[in-house]
Chains A and B, each alone.
Chain A
Amino acid sequence: MNANRLFNILVPVISVLIGLLAGALMMLGFGYNPITGYAALWNGAFGDLYYFGETIRQVTPYIFTGLAVAFAFRSGLLNIGAEGQVIVGWLAAVWIGTTIEAPMIIHLPLAIIVAAFAGAFWGFIPGLLKATRGVHEVIVTIMLNYTALYLANAIVRNVLSDNEDKTPDVAATASLASEWFQNMTYFSRMHYGIFIALFAAVIMWFIIERTSVGYELKSVGFNEHASKYAGMNVKWNIILSMIISGAFAGLAGAMEGLGTFGYMSVQSGFNNLGFDGIAVALLGANTAVGVVLAAFLFGALKVGALNMPTEAGVPTELVDVIIALIIFCVASSYIIRWVLLRFKKEEN
């Protein structure tokens, strides 16, 4: 058990280091100094309070999408649809935020809860199809991503605004934006959502590790047939897992809609929050604590990378390659883990 835990911590740490090393070689190969490059990355993410605030802002939705993917993984499902669930959550939150008038104590929680429900519904569809018809969730969720994207664009354009590119701002009573944080961090867009995100991580841990529901979900993930034989309702557990996963992703959308932006605009493509969430979940070994830490890493990479072209002179294209390399190595930790475990099994 102890060795196993050490192993679980070591694999992601090593893969991050390999990723950084690969990025450094890349920079060396193209004649840039990797030390100034990474210094710029660090300064861009934690260099001063503004950048730190922006990093936290980026980390907040990553925690949610990471939790969403991790939760589904735990019961053996691959939720590629976090992307679409984020979009419907965002849309729902902004819809409530712009059209309803209520005091903050009702308005804000309502907007957040409705976003979670919207995401949950978007997760329920593939869950239901998987459980009752055996349709693979990957295919359904990928298709639902596009449905969500274009549906949201149409609604933003025609229902929530008068043929404009974005909705009006959400009412102050539904906003997560915090003047206090903004003043403290030189007007970054850091908002209260980070506390909700950390709290959600605790909830995820609690459900998975401390409740019988979580036990059943895990058990279905380990072995569907054994769980069925043991008298568990496998179908319901698959649906439930996708619902909870979708709710987490929907909350990520609420963070963007109520916190970062305060509106929803017509999107020309995916914002990658959901796809990055897959990498976050994998790096975090599908545990709540791991996801939070991995989300910090990804948020810092994303925000810090913007600083590399201006401060270290590394071209934007190369920065994209370096960040992709790091993420690649980080994501392949799953492969490393899988290969190692295979070997172990064979030894046994």
Chain B
Amino acid sequence: MENRKFILLFALLFSIGMLLAACGGSGSEEGNAGSESGSNDDNSESSGGSSDFSAAMVTDVGGVDDKSFNQSAWEGLQAWGEEHGMEKGQGFDYAQSNSDSDYAPNLNRLVREDYNLVFGIGYKLADAIKDVAGQYKDTNFAIVDAVVEGDNIASITFADHEGSFLAGAAAANKTNTNKVGFVGGTDSDLINKFESGFVAGAKTVNPDIEVEVQYAGAFDAPDDGKLIASNMYKNDIDVIYHASGATGNGVFAQAKDIKNNDPEREIWVIGVDRDQYEEGQIGDQNVTLTSMVKRVGNSVQQVSNMGMEGEFPGGEVLEFGVEDEGVGLADTNEEAYTDEIAKAVEEWKQKIIDGEVEVPQTHDELDEYLNSL
């Protein structure tokens, strides 16, 4: 008796499930018809514009107002749309992800809405881009800050070493003690690139400058960052460049602590990835000398234009450097980042562009470079 009821209920549940599925299916045809006619209208409108090429992006969980990669990318895409007389939703758009599981559906959605080029912003989307790009060969994809292989995928990376070189030059111009510091996240090839560029930049400006390099071993250890910064500032280092994500927040915290106790002392932090001016604010003073910013927006705009002109760099790894304004220094803190420094940095930037300076990317290249000075 028990058993029979049990089986009956299971059968019932199963059939409810199937019924729901069927409802979904039949609803889908209607819905599809509706949405297709709708989207066709949209398409014809947008194709009435300057071109029928369209591009869209999927954010990671940060959203388009994260003051970082996503926001910068969206601003770049908007600028690109404006350049070609498009409006949001007609020609360019974004899809926001609220959790990691949203990446794939969002990418799929944009592909199905017939966008020609879909950007994934941030390395977290690398897996999803790889899967979806394999499934839809006719759409072009681009991933920011990661390298994904595939004929229809362009990988957008940044010449961190070139930007770091400029940061080193700025630090060398600012320091009074001729001692500067570098705090890295993990001791990996990626962060070595920052380190090599920074050391090269500082030593090129002034070979007598000492650069102390320390790795915290993690990107999310502000405590360690604070400790390292505390030791560095104690040893007369007055400018610290950090390439360590959230660990760098500890560096900022320590600099602000010192500044709080002794407002006269001149110490600085150089931020990374985006303009970290706000992190350095304490009272009406600011310890952020400058930041090595990656201008994601510029890269998005450029890749969109390449796609529009039919020259989409599928399968390639693009590196945006100082030349195409992919990386550079922020000049928000005008008091500290004086015109003098800005001018010097501009000169070094020109030398990198002209090829006079070949910025080292690894420890080996750095040794070679320093010997040749």
Q: Is B104 an interface residue (CB 8 A)?
A: yes
**Once bound together, how far apart are the Cα atoms of A290 and B218, in whole Å?**
46
A306 pairs with B102, CB closer than 8 A: yes
A316 pairs with B135, CB closer than 8 A: no
Given the complex, which residues of B lie within 8 Å of A310, measured CB to CB? 89, 93, 95, 109-110, 113
> Closest approach, in angstroms, between the C-beta of B236 and any C-beta of chain A?
32
B28 pairs with A49, CB closer than 8 A: yes
Given the complex, which residues of B lie within 8 Å of A50, measured CB to CB? 108, 112
**Once bound together, how far apart are the Cα atoms of A309 and B63, in whole Å?**
13
Q: Is A311 an interface residue (CB 8 A)?
A: yes
> Closest approach, in angstroms, between the C-beta of B332 and any C-beta of chain A?
27
B95 pairs with A47, CB closer than 8 A: no
Given the complex, which residues of A lie within 8 Å of B105, measured CB to CB? 51, 54, 188, 303, 306
Given the complex, which residues of B lie within 8 Å of A179, measured CB to CB? none
Given the complex, which residues of A lie within 8 Å of B263, measured CB to CB? none
Residue of A nearest to B34 (CB): A39
Residue of A nearest to B108 (CB): A50
State which size class the interface on B falls in.
35 or more
Q: Is B2 an interface residue (CB 8 A)?
A: yes
B9 pairs with A202, CB closer than 8 A: yes
Chain B residues 101 to 148 lying within 8 A of chain A, measured CB to CB, are 101-102, 104-106, 108-110, 112-113, 124, 131-132, 135
B95 pairs with A309, CB closer than 8 A: yes
Given the complex, which residues of B lie within 8 Å of A289, measured CB to CB? 13
Given the complex, which residues of A lie within 8 Å of B209, measured CB to CB? none
A202 pairs with B13, CB closer than 8 A: yes
State which size class the interface on A falls in.
35 or more
> Closest approach, in angstroms, between the C-beta of B354 and any C-beta of chain A?
38
Which of A10-18, A238-246, A265-273 forms part of the interface with chain B? A265-273
* Secondary structure type dominating chain A contacts: helix
**Once bound together, how far apart are the Cα atoms of A39 and B23, in whole Å?**
15
> Closest approach, in angstroms, between the C-beta of B40 and any C-beta of chain A?
13
Q: Is A205 an interface residue (CB 8 A)?
A: yes
Given the complex, which residues of A lie within 8 Å of B132, measured CB to CB? 187
**Once bound together, how far apart are the Cα atoms of A198 and B15, in whole Å?**
11
A-contact bits for B280-300, CB 8 A (1 contact / 0 none): 000000000000000000000
B31 pairs with A39, CB closer than 8 A: yes
15 A-B pairs with C-beta separation under 8 A: A44-B109, A46-B24, A47-B28, A50-B108, A54-B105, A198-B13, A198-B17, A199-B10, A202-B6, A260-B101, A265-B100, A268-B61, A272-B99, A306-B96, A306-B105
18 further A-B pairs in the complex, CB-CB below 8 A; given A46-B23, A313-B89: A39-B31, A46-B27, A47-B35, A49-B28, A52-B25, A52-B28, A54-B105, A58-B101, A186-B135, A202-B13, A260-B101, A267-B100, A271-B99, A292-B16, A309-B93, A309-B95, A310-B89, A320-B98
Q: Which residues of B come within 8 Å of A, CB atoms?
A: 2, 5-6, 9-10, 13-14, 16-17, 20-21, 23-25, 27-28, 31-32, 34-35, 38-39, 61, 63, 89, 93, 95-96, 98-102, 104-106, 108-110, 112-113, 124, 131-132, 135, 186
